[in-house]
């Protein structure tokens, strides 16, 4: 496929296709069909990286290289983009003096706050340890493993004391009763005396049974009191342990409250400081973007001026070539006219009405051919409405004036 030669200032589909091709190599251009500064910079970078003449003009060699298939295209995309960015940044950095990009540095206040947080972390309270845990565990074990109440009368030493006492007293009562009854009968023993003595003895033994029941009740009360004392003791110990644990929780709450304060202070201080840093970076980037825009605008103006000068030089060169060719044609024409007769001249006059006559195309050519400067320049012709209506365009006007003054 044939493509036209394009350069800075060109527009159209070929420029758009060029931008698409360059984007395949990672240049990231807008495919707007306008050959501007970025497109020219990308072209020059591509030419430099591919051994082409670095002129920013896309001709047959550059088109051919772009269209050639390459297995390394994907590998070259990032490299080309990096080269373009590096070159642009390097040129910009060399042209514009900017302060270095700000870097975040912690203030001494933030460092001090961080150290306080570390000290707080290292000063965490140890796990709670009860001073009463062993005592509570021991009493609780006594309560859970306590034997059921059982009373063995014969195993009660106090009962034995009472039994001996009541038995002895019963025997005495029996003997006294027998003696008293015998005295009533003149000192002789009888059945009544024996029966009365036996009754007195058994009365004491019956009283011993009441004592035995009382001893059992007293033993049960003692058992209950001991159990209640265990519960009272464990309640007291638990109360003391609860007080200690509450004090521990209060200390722990104060510790975490202090930590919350330290963390919040550090966070607020860090956020405020970093926000200020980001604002500084934003200002730096804004200044850099503004400077870069001015730099790119300056490049655009320089390139535009170069293009104007190039076009002017091209126009002057083209005009010079046309003037030279026209002068050569006039020279041939005048040489032929000087050696011809009047008849030939008449024939030449007849030919002047034909296509072989060369007419001036510019005001300068008219002046050179006729020596007359009294006609309108092209700018004056364009401003004069009546002349435009009569002659349509400046070439027709020059032709008519040439015929008029040549005669």
Helix (H, G, I), strand (E, B) or coil at 11: strand
Residue 182 domain-assigned (yes or no): no
Domain annotation covers residue 295:
no
Domain boundary among 95, 114, 134: 95
Domain's final residue, options 76, 95, 114: 95
Question: What is the domain count for the chain?
Answer: 2
**Per-residue model confidence (pLDDT) at position 346:** 44
How many Å apart are CA 32 and CA 311, to the nearest integer? 23
Instruction: Identify any residues that bridge with 58 across adjacent strands, giving them in sequence order.
Output: 6
Inside any domain, residue 5:
yes
pLDDT value of position 29: 94
Tell me, yes or no, whether 77 lies in a domain: yes
Determine whether 237 is exposed, middle or buried from the number of CB atoms within 10 Å of its CB (0-12, 13-18, 19+): buried
- Cβ distance 35 to 15 under 8 Å? yes
pLDDT of residue 153: 81
**Residue 389 belongs to a domain:** yes
Radius of gyration of the chain measured on its C-alpha atoms: 65
- Say what the pLDDT of residue 352 is: 44
Tell me which residue of 65, 63, 79 sits closest to 26, measured CA to CA.
Answer: 79
Cα(24)–Cα(346) distance, integer angstroms: 68
Give the CATH number, domain containing residue 17: 1.10.101.10
Report the pLDDT value the prediction gives residue 160, as an integer from 0 to 100: 87
Residue 42 exposed, middle or buried by CB count within 10 Å (0-12, 13-18, 19+): buried
- The residue written with tokens 């009294």 in the block is 374
CA distance linking residue 308 with residue 310, whole number of Å: 5
Give, in order, the Cα–Cα distances in Å from 212 to each of 48, 222, 320: 125, 15, 155
* Residues forming a β-bridge with 34: 11
Query: Does residue 79 fall inside a structural domain?
Result: yes
**Each residue of 194-209: b (16+ CB within 10 Å) or e?**
eebbeebbeebeeebe
Final residue before a domain boundary, out of 95, 129, 157? 95
374: containing domain: 359-406
Distance from chain centroid for Cα 381:
68
Asked, for residue 401, whether it belongs to a domain, the answer is yes
Q: Write down the pLDDT at residue 353.
A: 46
Whether 202 is in a domain gets the answer no
Instruction: Give pLDDT, residue 138.
Output: 95
Three-class SS of residue 15? helix
279-288's contacts with Cβ under 8 Å and 24+ in sequence apart are 280/102, 281/101, 281/102, 284/98, 284/99, 284/101, 284/102, 287/98, 288/98
pLDDT, one tens digit for every residue, the chain (407 residues):
567 899 988 999 999 999 999 999 889 999 999 999 899 999 999 999 999 999 999 998 999 999 874 444 555 555 555 555 555 555 555 566 667 888 888 899 999 999 999 999 999 999 999 999 999 999 999 999 998 988 888 888 988 888 888 888 888 888 788 777 777 666 555 787 778 778 888 888 888 888 888 888 988 999 999 999 999 999 999 999 999 999 999 999 999 999 999 999 989 988 998 899 889 888 887 887 787 777 777 777 887 777 777 777 777 777 777 777 776 776 666 666 555 544 444 444 444 444 457 888 898 888 888 888 889 999 899 988 898 899 999 999 999 999 988 76
């Amino acid at each position: 496929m044939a493509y036209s030669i394009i350069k800075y200032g060109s527009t159209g589909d070929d420029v758009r296709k060029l931008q698409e091709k360059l984007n395949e190599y990672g240049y990231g251009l807008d495919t707007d069909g306008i050959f501007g500064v970025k497109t020219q910079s990308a072209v020059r970078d591509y030419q430099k990286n591919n051994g082409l003449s670095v002129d920013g003009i896309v001709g047959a060699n550059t088109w051919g290289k772009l269209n050639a298939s390459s297995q390394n295209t994907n590998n070259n995309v990032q490299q080309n983009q990096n080269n373009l960015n590096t070159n642009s940044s390097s040129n910009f950095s060399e042209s514009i003096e900017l302060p270095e990009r700000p870097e975040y540095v912690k203030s001494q206040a933030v460092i001090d706050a961080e150290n306080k947080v570390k000290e707080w972390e290292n000063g965490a309270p140890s796990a709670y340890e009860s001073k009463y845990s062993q005592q509570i565990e021991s009493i609780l074990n006594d309560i859970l493993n306590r034997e059921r109440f059982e009373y063995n009368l014969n195993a009660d030493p106090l009962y034995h004391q009472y039994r001996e006492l009541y038995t002895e007293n019963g025997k005495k009562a029996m003997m006294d009763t027998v003696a008293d009854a015998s005295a009533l009968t003149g000192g002789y023993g009888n059945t009544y005396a024996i029966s009365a003595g036996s009754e007195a003895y058994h009365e004491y033994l019956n009283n011993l049974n009441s004592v035995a029941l009382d001893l059992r009740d007293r033993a049960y009360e003692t058992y209950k009191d001991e159990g209640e004392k265990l519960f009272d003791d464990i309640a007291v110990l638990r109360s003391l342990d609860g007080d200690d644990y509450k004090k521990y929780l209060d200390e722990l709450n104060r510790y975490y409250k202090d930590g919350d304060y330290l963390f919040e202070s550090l966070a607020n201080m860090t956020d405020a400081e970093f926000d200020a840093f980001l604002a500084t970076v934003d200002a730096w980037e804004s200044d850099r973007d503004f400077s870069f825009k001015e730099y790119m605008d300056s490049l655009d103006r320089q390139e535009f001026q170069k293009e104007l000068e190039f076009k002017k030089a091209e126009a002057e060169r083209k005009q010079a070539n046309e003037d030279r060719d026209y002068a050569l044609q006039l020279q041939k024409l005048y040489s032929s006219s000087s050696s011809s007769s009047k008849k030939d001249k008449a024939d030449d006059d007849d030919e002047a009405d034909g296509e072989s006559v060369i007419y001036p195309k510019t005001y300068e050519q008219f002046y050179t051919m006729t020596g007359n400067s009294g006609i309108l320049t092209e700018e004056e012709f364009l401003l004069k409405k009546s002349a435009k209506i009569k002659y349509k365009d400046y070439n027709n006007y020059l032709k008519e004036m040439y015929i008029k003054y040549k005669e």
